A and B are shown apart, each in its own frame.
Chain A
Amino acid sequence: MIPTMKQILLLKQLITLYLIIPADGDEQQSTNNWKGVFSISSYTQYFNVDTDVVLNRLISSLYPISGDFFSKIDANPDLYGLVWISTTLVFAIASLGNCATYLMHRRSDHSTSWTFDVSYLNVAACSIYGYVLIVPLAYYFLLQYLGSNASLIRFWCLWGYSLFIFILSSFLLVIPFEFLRWTIILLGGGASASFVALNLRSYINESEITIVVISAFVLQMGLAIFIKMWFFA
């Protein structure tokens, strides 16, 4: 089978990604100073944010309908949010999940003793880090293949900030009422998923890839339901 031009291009970009992270789609970034994979100073351009900027972006991630996240981060996307929001979420769901099982145990039966389950940390770390690193990467390659320009750093930034709602809802999920938990997780998951989907749609701006937008929505809801079922059962 002879590979098409698009496939050759995709392959070339895969190889390029293995060597360096591409800075942007096709526009020349004036502050792009890449000094190699192992030099810290080449990554500082992605952490060039102040406290108030980060807080502003966090607050805007709570409003799913506005759809202007990409215009906010366009000049200065950051990976600080990605790293620390996902890390906080890992700790939050691991510890609060244990709290939740403790409270359920207190309410129901006292025959078995409750022990702290350390494997929650492992599962949480693998699932959250895996999701937030791989899903934007997959969407980046998908959109490149479909022809529209996408920026990997901005996708990572978007998905990273979209997890903030889960941190807040995981505090509420400790309440040991099953119906309330399902309500909370569906609302929180819906908010986060629509945040991702609406911003993605406003960024891509083409009409034939609504399936991409819908799949992003479904994936985020899937993550929410997974969190509820594994950690807060």
Chain B
Amino acid sequence: MSHSDTIPLHSTSQSDIDEIENLINSNPSSVLPARPPSPPRASIPISSAPIPPPAFIPSNLPAPTNPKTAPVPSVSSAAPKPPLPPRPSGPGGNISASGFGSPPNTLTEPVWDTVKRDLSRIVSNLKLVVFPNPFREDPGKALRDWDLWGPFFFIVFLGLTLSWSASVKKSEVFAVAFALLAAGAVILTLNVLLLGGHIIFFQSLSLLGYCLFPLDIGALICMLKDNVLVKVVVVAVTLAWSSWAAYPFMSSAVNPRRKALALYPVLLMYVSVGFLIIAID
């Protein structure tokens, strides 16, 4: 603030009070409120009367001798309301949640709604990827609404199943399975990109994760039924199913002359996981 007079500043608080008193006495109409004005906030109207601007109006203040108690009445009416983020539009108008568009509803909806929406997306993605459907050949349509919850759940489930089946070194089995699958998905995607193919990184991660679903079923069956021959048959069937699910996506992403180069690592990863499922008992 600027001084028009030449009162020197002291370093004690008493001197500050003196300074303020001098300012008040010299120019009473320009007294600032003791509490600085809050930034413009959308204020929820509490009455039908025209709404004053959100900043504190100095004329609301009582006698300037007790500046600290003055703003309390105005503040207390606004404080209990939930704070809204500052909006450039000023007073007036009923500011409700719909003013932001539809997304804010996801913040206030029940948790069960969110979970149900994610689960239904996982199920629909699963149906698109793993089961026959007319869009399989087109990678753009195959997994348009990709997500990573499904793959995460399938990888963790497979790691847990293998870990339960193992009789020794359970935690190491889980670590190996998880690292193999997660790092494997990333490396397979990088492999396609390095061979000059065109895929979207996260869409490919999502797809490779969803293709693990048949192996999850196979691992569950193998955990429950401990016969070696049954295990081999089940793993072979689910392995073929997983590879069939992943094949159109991977092969259409690269140059046809390099199709085998892109598909071989996928096969390698699924065979190694299948072998883990059979061998762990």
Contact = CB atoms under 8 A, between A and B. Distances in A.
Interface of A: 40, 43-44, 46-52, 54, 80, 83-84, 87-88, 91, 95, 98, 115-119, 121-122
A91 B168 contact: no
Given A44-B194, A116-B281, A87 B268 contact: yes
Please provide the 4 A-B residue pairs with the shortest distance between their CB atoms, ordered closest to farther.
Answer: A47-B194, A50-B257, A116-B279, A51-B260
Given A51-B258, A95-B272, A115-B168, A44 B196 contact: yes
Contacts of B272: 91, 95
A28 B276 CA distance: 47
A4 to B, nearest CB: 40
Contacts of A50: 255, 257-258, 261
Most chain A CB inside 10 Å of its own CB: which residue of B167, B168, B271, B272: B272
A118 B279 CA distance: 10
Nearest to B171: A118
SS class, residues of chain B in contact with chain A:
helix
Interface residues of B, number: 29
Given A80-B261, A87-B268, A116-B166, A47 B279 contact: no
Contacts of A121: 176
A84 B196 CA distance: 17
Contacts of B166: 115-116, 118
Nearest to B272: A91
Contact of B261 (A49, A88, A95, A117): A49
A51 B168 contact: no
Interface string B243-274: 00000000000010111110011001001100
B250 to A, nearest CB: 14
A52 B257 CA distance: 8
